[in-house]
Amino acid sequence: MLAMNYRGPLRVRIDEKPMPKIEHPQDAIVRVTRSCICGSDLHLYNGSVPDTRVGMTFGHEFTGIVEEVGSEVTKIKVGDHVLVPFNIACGECVFCKQEMFGNCHESNPQATAVGGIFGYSHTAGGYNGGQAEYARVPYANVGPTVIPEGMDPDDAVLLTDVVPTGYQAAEMAGIQPGDTVAVFGAGPVGIMAARCAWLFGAGRVMIIDEIDYRLEFAKNYAQCEAYNFRDMGGDVVQWMKEQTDWLGADVCIDAVGAEAAGNAMQTITGRKLFLQAGSATALHWAINSVKKGGIISIVGVYGPTDNLVPIGNVLNKGLTIRANQASVKRLLPRLIEHVQNGVLNPKGLITHRIPLEEVSEGYRIFSQKLDNCIKPVLIPPSARM
Ligand SMILES: [Zn+2]
Ligand SMILES: [Zn+2]
């Protein structure tokens, strides 16, 4: 089968790889119909996630048609068109029982923090991902969810990560009616978080980034205010205070994470030095520009240790920091309803539809922010018939 193949930092290509096989009675094999490239994949692509092994296939946002199931799989059957949450979760452990499907204790033997994630290095379990013609889906009774009748697969594929991650960012932020919400990062997840902030009753939503085309897109898509931090006279915190009667935003959402640093490492301009601090900078800004007693919600991806965070200010301002990988399966029923009712329009984020065979070009366009790219989706040959 064709599959994306990681060859080392900034080198991915399409290759012929062996078909995945059922390795456990609870596995399923799916024939992939859509597979997105995620902002967090760029972190792998840049070589900045530990233990990202040559030969791995990335891709944690995919849909597919069930080809084969193991003998213990009862919840899905051959022929079902399913969306596959990025979390790999056993469904049985103490964390899964609390619906913390992003923190499964069984699916990632390498760590006690994050659970297994498709295509996200051996630090997240070493599973191959869905940027391929076929993928093996472990614990197939837990994650994969049949795409409801009539739902566009382009909507469904974004329910595997972007929509739940953006939604959970807004949920964790504890938004109260009328709150001013500041979202740092106008990538797909930040844009979705801004959109979802309204669903929780926000009175004002601002999104902050440095890339004008993304800000323009965010403004239209999420119907929010959008600002370039390069226009803020060098002091985002001061700017935010001016916007908020000198109190600060009620909640800040960090949808940047270390991704900015990953991008920055590719460039050699002085600008990038600023951004390299910038991964931590988004969190600095969030901590320093949120109101006393406010909530910081983090969904940007950070490594286990980061980054000179001003923890003293967290204490002195009485802040609450909430953060997690989205628990996709927990959120799906509500989010599916929102899509079906037209409240959310996930596929509106997709700007690029790229044949799987051109995966390396997809990574190049997305990582270099070319061609006004917001969200690329890879489409395997069999899904283009
Ligand atoms: Zn993702
Ligand atoms: Zn579990």
Q: What is the pLDDT of residues 329-372, one digit of tens each?
A: 999 999 999 999 999 999 999 999 999 999 999 999 999 999 99
Which ligand approaches the C-alpha of residue 89 most closely?
2
pLDDT of residue 300: 81
Separation CA 68–CA 164 (nearest Å) = 27
Closest ligand by atom to 376 CA:
1
Measured from the alpha carbon of residue 166, the closest ligand is 1
Cβ pair 43, 258 in contact under 8 A: yes
Ligand 1 (ion): residues with CB under 5 Å are: 38, 161
Question: In this structure, which ligand is nearest to the CA of 62?
Answer: 1
Give the distance (Å) from ligand 1 centre to CA of residue 244. 32
Apex 138 CA angle, 337 and 76, nearest 5? 50
* Omega of the bond leading into 345 within 30 degrees of 0 (cis): no
Long-range contacts formed by 275-284: CB under 8 A, 24+ apart: 275/210, 279/306, 279/307, 280/306, 280/307, 280/308, 280/309, 282/184, 282/185, 282/254, 282/256, 282/257, 283/254, 283/256, 283/307, 283/309, 284/309, 284/310
Rounded to the nearest whole angstrom, what is the distance from the C-alpha of residue 161 to the centroid of ligand 1?
A: 5
Percent of the chain's residues with pLDDT above 70 = 92
Mean pLDDT calculated for residue range 315-339: 96
- CA dist 64 and 54 (Å) reads 25
At residue 221 the predicted structure's pLDDT band, cuts being 50, 70 and 90, is: very high
**CA 229, chain centre distance (Å):** 22
pLDDT at residue 303, as a whole number: 62
Between 155 and 308, the higher pLDDT residue? 155
Provide the sign of the torsion angle of the four alpha carbons 171, 176, 182, 188, taken in this order.
positive
Residue 305: the pLDDT is: 55
Closest CA to 187 of 153, 226, 156: 226
pLDDT band at 98 (very low <50, low <70, confident <90, very high): very high
Amino acid 263: pLDDT: 35
The rounded Å distance from CA 3 to ligand 2 centre is 28
Measured CA angle at 283 (ends 330, 210), to 5 deg: 100
* Secondary structure class of 73 (helix, strand, coil): coil
Task: Report whether pLDDT(219) > 70.
Answer: yes
Which pLDDT score, from 0 to 100, does residue 378 have? 98
Ligand closest to the CA atom of residue 129: 1
Is the separation of the CB atoms in 365 and 138 below 8 Å?
A: no
pLDDT, tens digit, 9 for 90 and up, residues 51-95: 999 999 999 999 999 999 999 999 999 999 999 999 999 999 999
Q: Is residue 224 predicted with pLDDT exceeding 50?
A: yes
Question: Mean pLDDT in the chain?
Answer: 91
- Ligand 1: distance of its center to the CA of 166 in Å? 11
Task: Evaluate whether 375 touches 36 at the Cβ level (below 8 Å).
Answer: yes
Q: How many A from CA of 139 to the centre of ligand 2?
A: 10
Ligand 2 center–CA 110 separation, angstroms: 14
Residue 156 CA, ligand 1 centroid: distance in Å:
13
Distance 208 CA to ligand 1 centre (A): 20
Do 156 and 56 form a contact (C-beta atoms < 8 A)? no
Distance 92 CA to ligand 2 centre (A): 5
* Ligand showing the shortest atom-to-Cα distance for residue 102: 2
Tokens of 291: 């109101």
Expressed in angstroms and rounded, the spacing between residue 149 Cα and the centre of ligand 1 is: 24
State in Å: Cα 109 to ligand 2 middle: 11
Taking the chain, what is the end-to-end CA distance rounded to the nearest angstrom?
17
Residue 312: per-residue pLDDT: 87
The ligand that comes nearest to the alpha carbon of residue 130 is 1
Ligand closest to 328 (CA) is: 1
pLDDT given for residue 265 in this prediction: 36
pTM: 0.93
d(CA 203, CA 172): 17
User: What pLDDT score was predicted for residue 301?
Assistant: 73
Question: In a 3-state reduction of DSSP, which class is residue 358?
Answer: helix
pLDDT tens by residue, 10-39: 999 999 999 999 999 999 999 999 999 999
Ligand 2 centroid from CA 172, angstroms: 21
Tell me the mean pLDDT in the region 115-142.
Answer: 97
The helix-helix angle for 162-172 and 188-199 (nearest 10°) equals 50
Q: What is the DSSP letter of 148?
A: P
Q: Could you read off the pLDDT of 194-204 as tens digits, one per residue?
A: 999 999 999 99
* pLDDT one-digit tens code per residue, 260-302: 433 333 333 223 333 333 356 788 899 999 999 999 999 887 7
Say how far apart CA 301 and CA 47 lie, in whole Å. Answer: 14
Ligand nearest to the CA of 107: 2
pLDDT (tens digit per residue) in 243-262? 999 999 999 999 987 654 33
Considering every ligand atom, which ligand is closest to the CA of 88? Answer: 2
